[in-house]
C-alpha cells in the first residue's frame, strides 16, 4: 500500500429516530412484600415471647408445686408402709382411701397447671366469672391461708363475660401469684376480687394489701421485662417481668382493657374491663 494514499473508512448508518426499548422485570421485593415479611417475623417473635411468658409463670410457681406435691405424697408413703407391715384390714383400707384422695388432688393440681400453660388459642364464649376466680386461686397449688393471706370474692354468681375462659383464668392466676409473692414476706394481708356489671361491660378489681408499686415502675408495669422483683433471687437468675405483659395482651385480644393503681405501703389494684355477656 502506498503510504501516501488516503485511508478509506467504512461507516454504518445508524437510525437514531426510534429510541431503544428495554424490558424490565417486575420488582421482586416490593414494599408490600417487605412489609408482609416483617409482619410475619413480628408474629413469630410474638409467639416466642408468649411462650417465654408462660414458661416464666410456670417457673415461678414450680417451687410451690414441688412443695405441695411432697405434702400429698408423704402421707401416701407413710400409710402404704404401715399397711404393708400390718395385717389390720381397717388400716389397709384407710391407706387406700388416703392414697386415692391425695392422688385425685395431684391429678387436679397438674391439670390446672397444664390448662394455665396451654392457653394459646382463643375460644371466646359466655362464661360465669366466679368459677374461674375460684379455679385460678386453686391453680396456685397452695392455699393462700397458709401464707397468712385472707382471700375474699365479692361478686354476684350471675356475672358473666364474653371471653376465652382459659385465657381469663391465666390472667387471674398471674395476678393472684403476683399478689401472693408481694404479701408473703410480711406473712399476711388480704387479696380481694370484686366484680360488678356496668352496662355492657364487667369490671373486675383484683386488690391486695401488699407493699405497693413505686411510681417509676408503675408507669411501665405492662412492658415486657418490667418487674417489681429483682432479676436475681437467692443467687439464681430469674426470668421476671413477663407475666403482666402477657396479661395485657390476653385481655386486649379478648376486647378488654387492664389498668393498675397502687400506693406505696397500702397495696395495689388491677382493674379488668371486660365485655359482658
Q: What is the mean pLDDT of residues 43-50?
A: 72
| Separation between Cα atoms, residue 255 and residue 257, nearest integer Å | 7
Residue 235 has a pLDDT of 40
Q: By percentage, how much of the chain surpasses pLDDT 90? A: 32
Q: What's the pLDDT tens digit per position in 108-138?
A: 767 766 665 555 567 899 999 999 999 888 8
Bridge partner residues of 195 (DSSP) = 204
Q: What average pLDDT score do residues 58-72 get?
A: 65
Strand segments (E) across 209-256: 232-233, 236-237
For range 218-232, the mean pLDDT: 63
Tell me the CATH class for 124-275: alpha beta
How far apart are the C-alpha atoms of 86 and 212, rounded to whole Å? 55
Domain 37-115: state its class. Answer: mainly alpha
165 vs 186, which has greater pLDDT?
165
- Domain ranges, ordered by start, for the chain: 37-115, 124-275
**Does 37-115 match 124-275 in CATH topology?**
no
CA Rg value for the chain: 32
Q: Is 178 helix (H, G, I), strand (E, B) or coil?
A: helix
d(C-alpha 217, C-alpha 226), whole Å: 7
Using the 8-state DSSP alphabet, how is residue 194 labeled? Answer: E
Count CB-CB contacts under 10 A for residue 204.
24
Residues 238-269 pLDDT 10s? 334 457 887 898 899 899 999 999 999 999 99
The pTM (predicted TM-score) of the whole model is 0.62
| Residue 192, all three cell numbers | 380481694
Amino acid at each position: 500500500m502506498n503510504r501516501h494514499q488516503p485511508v478509506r473508512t467504512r461507516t454504518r448508518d445508524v437510525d437514531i429516530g426510534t429510541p431503544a426499548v428495554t424490558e424490565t422485570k417486575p420488582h421482586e421485593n416490593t414494599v408490600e412484600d417487605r412489609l408482609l415479611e416483617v409482619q410475619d417475623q413480628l408474629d413469630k417473635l410474638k409467639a416466642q415471647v408468649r411462650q417465654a411468658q408462660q414458661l416464666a409463670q410456670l417457673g415461678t410457681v414450680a417451687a410451690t408445686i414441688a412443695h405441695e406435691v411432697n405434702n400429698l405424697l408423704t402421707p401416701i408413703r407413710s400409710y402404704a408402709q404401715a399397711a404393708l407391715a400390718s395385717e389390720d384390714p381397717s388400716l389397709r383400707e384407710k391407706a387406700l382411701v388416703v392414697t386415692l384422695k391425695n392422688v385425685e388432688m395431684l391429678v387436679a393440681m397438674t391439670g390446672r397447671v397444664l390448662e394455665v400453660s396451654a392457653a394459646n388459642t382463643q375460644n371466646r364464649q359466655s362464661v360465669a366469672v366466679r368459677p374461674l376466680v375460684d379455679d385460678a386461686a386453686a391453680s396456685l397449688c397452695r392455699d393462700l391461708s397458709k401464707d397468712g393471706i385472707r382471700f375474699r370474692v365479692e361478686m354476684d354468681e350471675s356475672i358473666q363475660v364474653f371471653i376465652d375462659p382459659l385465657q381469663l383464668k391465666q390472667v387471674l392466676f398471674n395476678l393472684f401469684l403476683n399478689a401472693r409473692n408481694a404479701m408473703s414476706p410480711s406473712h399476711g394481708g388480704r387479696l380481694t376480687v370484686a366484680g360488678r356489671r356496668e352496662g355492657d361491660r364487667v369490671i373486675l378489681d383484683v386488690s391486695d394489701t401488699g407493699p405497693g408499686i413505686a411510681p417509676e415502675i408503675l408507669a411501665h408495669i405492662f412492658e415486657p421485662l418490667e418487674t417489681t422483683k429483682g432479676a436475681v433471687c437467692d443467687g439464681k437468675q430469674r426470668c421476671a417481668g413477663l407475666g403482666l405483659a402477657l396479661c395485657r395482651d390476653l385481655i386486649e385480644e379478648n376486647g378488654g382493657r387492664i389498668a393498675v393503681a397502687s400506693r406505696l405501703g397500702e397495696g395495689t389494684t388491677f382493674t379488668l374491663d371486660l365485655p359482658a355477656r
